[in-house]
Structure 1
Amino acid sequence: MKRLVDHVATRSGTDRVFVDDRLELKGGSLIEVVERTRAEHSVFRGSSVGVCFSRGYETALALVALDGFAEQLLIVPPTSKPARVREFIDRTDTEFILGNRENLRTGGLRQYDIRNLCGLNGGLTQKEDDGNAGDRGTVCDTEWILATSGTTGTPKLVAHDLSSLLRTVKTDTKVGHTLRWGLLYDLCRFAGIQVFLQSLVGGSTLIFADHVESIDEQVNLLLSGNCNALSGTPTMWRRLLMSDQFENLSLRIATLGGEIADGQILKALQRTFPEAKISHIYASTEAGVGFSVSDGQPGFPATFLENPPEETEIKVSDEGLLHLRPPQPEQERYVEEGLTLTDGEGWINTGDVVERSGDRFLFQGRESGVINVGGNKVHPEKVENVIQEVEGVAQVVVRAKKSAITGNLVEALVKPSGNVEGEQELRSAVRERCNADLNNYEVPAVCKVVSSLEMNAAGKLVR
């Protein structure tokens, strides 16, 4: 199997591979980065290496350099607190840290910085593509270790091999060469890894906008890089659509993932980018990419259970829980001893609840995120989807609020769009819509109008 650097070596030395607001790296220079890393740090060969950088650009360099060279890559999210990094190191027996974050608790492990190693601070001299990329020989099948989000507890560590990560990546480089992908996700998360691999293996250019916080700055960076393919959570897309310049992008591909893609956001993207192929992708760190839906509707067709669109099988339990069975379940595993990723038949319980409606299954939310209101189960995502349809609502988060009587109440935090005149009118409209479309116990007991909503490192709204 090809390693990542082998895919780079098939490209012209002058092809742009990575671009951000400071630097661009072409194929020949990226090969030079790999050669220097492997030559000057042969100690990484066959070792377990932690990758912990503050920017996606630097992480991408390390992944290309070390895939097929290091035996194991622990990919640490840049927002991880020092104590969490120390914990990840202990759980994986990591031997070296390649990164640039200060105050990491590495337990005495030396921290290497790929920027200084490869001369990126001063810029690289462009190397002519002479067809000889030095020692790119595969010494091992590198194991990639990714952390789950940990939203419901301590993050789990999931090990993949490269073939499982590439399972649904499109490899038509004739098409890929015309695409310029924008990266909004944290590259150290599964969704970011997928965009990175699709761009690199597909022969595209990757524009790094993951480190830019301002919406307008993100959009300007994507515009300057002529971005025409973009992936993000529904929360990310809603924020981007607030920018006056966003519609100036000429998108050919728009994908959504990480959260439920409701009808409103799908329609908004279809209106804004009528020529684009719009898909929402179901994936998880544990199961990898399960399937994608491109018919413009929320949820997925019931026919997917009998005829899955990808190699991954799909089933729904009697309790409404979505299960996936990858073609080779042994390619993914939990790192921790005693934790089993699959059942005896290779099925992975995703923890997501779906409900059949006609000829489709619609996502209701996470089983672990249910709000218990006096013994009744409320899925926050279901309530959010209803409120999101109210005119004047830009974004909404629904969460539990403690109650001495019922245990919990439902609370809605609503961010208004720019054309809302009064907060009281908006709250009344929300309550009216909820009373019409929801059960009594699902209707928010508290509705607050707020100026902003928090988004986590994975691009999801924080409850």
Structure 2
Amino acid sequence: MSIAWLCERMGQWANHPAIVWNDHPYTYHDLLARMQVWNATLNEHDIGPGQVVTIEGDYSPNAVSLLLTLIERSTIVVPLTHSVAAQREEFLTIAEVQVVVSFDDDDRWHIERRPVQVTNPLTHQLIERGHPGLVLFSSGSTGKSKAALHDFLPLLEKFQVPRHRRVTLTFLLLDHIGGINTLFYTLANGGTVVAVQSRDPDVVCRTIETHRVQTLPTSPTFLNLLLISEAYQRYNLSSLELITYGTEVMPESTLHRIHDIFPNVQLLQTYGLSELGILRSKSRDSNSLWFKVGGEGFETKIVDGVLWVRAKSAMLGYLNAPSPFDEEGWMNTQDVVEVDGDYIRILGRRSDIINVGGQKVYPAEVESVLLQIPNVKDVAVVGERNSITGQIVTARFNLFEPEDPNEFKRRVRAFCRGRLAPYKIPVKISITEYEQHSARFKKVRKPL
């Protein structure tokens, strides 16, 4: 039983709420009882060790108890959510899924069998170990989604160390490494995960108020939307003790505004990748983008200004791409960083850097300035090829109110003078009505 230690802990907190779903609490006893029901159901459907099983759902009691049961039975789990509906068939094919268990809005389930044989050597390697597995698909925000195959046991090992018990909102989705981390950290420490029906700022703030949420794990993009909506003014958020942010570079202007609004809330930058898991981190202070990363089971090094990580919990490999690890197990994260003693500051992904005549431009730095312009709701900065300078800086804007494009361009360039070096000021400016973030609330820099 690969998670006997976790089930034993959950039994100690039997009457404590483990999940709040649709505003109704479900205890640890409820989850353990549902696991027994799932074991019987999976026996009836002949679903056992080594089979590849997709869970289509969110943080409902049945979905979470099924996830625990599938780990216990040493299956390979492929969590998917409605956010990837357009890529569903592609993902099922890549992962060689044999069983799909889907959940509706009332937590009712349906089991679908697929006539698929597992052929991927990495999956066979995991099956031969007799260990449970996890397949996570990257967001594809800058290219094609990759399928990372994990041995679930090393991922879960770090949660055996007791830590803080908290009431935590499940902002990050169940098919995201951050969502998996949130769920198991909480269950391993007797906390409560509070599910939300949508990631709308008002819904999130209302949920925090109603259930006295202490921890909000989220992304810089959502925090910017929270500022824009001013939903934080309409609800009592005094229970909040910790806001963690990751998945993308935080604009400094957004961090400062969040700190001003929540001066008594700790702001913590997190760091993790689908390929490696979530590293432990410590921000220099709540108003700083400098932080430490590492912790037990992780090693880090900086090579030519780029962060490399070696992790005990690293994936076995991609199911649909070459391995990103070198012969010693190190992974080039492609994140360009500055270093100050034990602290680092992430400047951006190497692939996002814009090279203007030999000068490097980091999109997040430019976006941090552009987000301060009146009437700007959101912005994405990307590079575009240019025959003279190699690349130019371009900016796509979302506005609150319609504005004459030519007048808006003049305002943007006037605002940037004195705030940005001339080569960093956007040469091409456009206005779009399309959202510029994914369902995971991560900035989308590829063409809309």
Q: TM bucket by the smaller chain?
A: 0.7 to 0.9
Question: Would you say the 8 A contact 2:290–2:344 is kept in 1?
Answer: yes
Q: Verify: 1:202 aligned to 2:189, yes or no.
A: yes
Matched, 1:224 2:214: no
Q: Distance in 1 between matches of 2:250 and 2:14?
A: 39
Task: Provide structure 1 residue ranges, at least 5 long, that are not aligned to the other structure.
Answer: 110-138
Equivalent residue of 1:399, what SS?
A: strand
Task: Report the 3-state secondary structure (helix = DSSP H, G, I; strand = E; otherwise coil) of the residue aligned with 1:194.
Answer: helix
Letter in 2 for 1:28: H
Letter in 2 for 1:440: P
Residue 344 of structure 1: CA displacement?
1.3
Matched residue of 1:341: which SS? coil
Distance 1:405 1:103 in 2: 58
Q: Secondary structure at the match of 1:239?
A: helix
CA contact (8 A) 2:186 2:192 kept: yes
Q: How many residues align?
A: 421
Residue 185 (structure 1) aligns with: 172
Counterpart of 1:396?
A: 379
Q: Measure, in 2, the Cα distance between the counterparts of 1:40 and 1:103.
A: 11
1:50 counterpart = 2:53: yes
Match of 1:12 in 2: 13
**CA distance 1:198–1:265, shift in 2 (3 Å):** farther
Q: Which residue of 1 aligns with 2:125?
A: none
> Residues of 2 paired with 1:143 and 1:458: CA distance?
23
Where does residue 118 of structure 1 map in the other structure?
A: none
Match of 1:253 among 242, 247, 269: 242
Shift of 1:239: 1.9
1:324 counterpart (284, 304, 309): 309
Q: Aligned partners of 1:206 and 1:299: how far apart in 2?
A: 27
In the alignment, the residues of structure 1 paired with residue 403 and residue 244 of structure 2 have an alpha-carbon distance, to the nearest angstrom, of 33
Please, which of 329, 341, 350 is the counterpart of residue 367 of structure 1?
Answer: 350
Cα contact 1:393–1:414 (8 A) shared by 2: yes
- Secondary structure in 2 matching 1:197: helix
Q: Does 1:296 align with 2:282?
A: no
Q: TM-score, normalised by structure 2?
A: 0.81
Question: Once the 2 structures are TM-superposed, how far is the Cα of residue 246 of structure 1 from its aligned partner?
Answer: 4.9
- Give the corresponding residue for 1:440: 422
Q: Indicate the SS of the match to 2:12.
A: coil
SS of structure 1 residue aligned to 2:337: strand
Q: Relative to 1, partners in 2 of residues 1:94 and 1:341: Cα closer, same or farther, differing over 3 Å?
A: same
Q: Which residue of structure 1 aligns with residue 122 of structure 2?
A: none
Amino acid at match of 2:18: V
Matched residues in 1 for 2:216 and 2:266: separation? 11
Cross-structure match for 1:129? none
Unaligned runs of 5+ in 2: 117-128
Tell me if structure 1 keeps the 8 A contact 2:378–2:399.
yes
Partner of 2:265 in structure 1?
A: 276
Q: In 1, are the aligned partners of 2:132 and 2:153 still within 8 Å (CA)?
A: no
Contact 1:49 1:70 in 2 (8 A): no
Corresponding residue SS for 1:436: coil
- Aligned match of 1:459 in 412, 416, 441? 441
Change (3 A) 1:391 1:167: farther
Assess if the C-alpha contact under 8 Å between 2:78 and 2:134 holds in 1: yes
What code does the residue aligned with 1:293 have? Answer: K
For the 8 Å contact 1:453–1:461, the answer to whether it is kept is: no
Q: Is the 8 A contact 2:250 2:364 kept in 1?
A: no
**Partners of 1:189 and 1:79 in 2: CA distance:** 11
Distance 2:154 2:262 in 1: 31
Relative to structure 1, the CA distance from residue 106 to residue 369 in structure 2 (aligned partners, 3 Å threshold; closer, same or farther) is: farther
| 1:348 paired residue among 331, 337, 346 | 331
Query: Offset at 1:254?
Result: 1.2
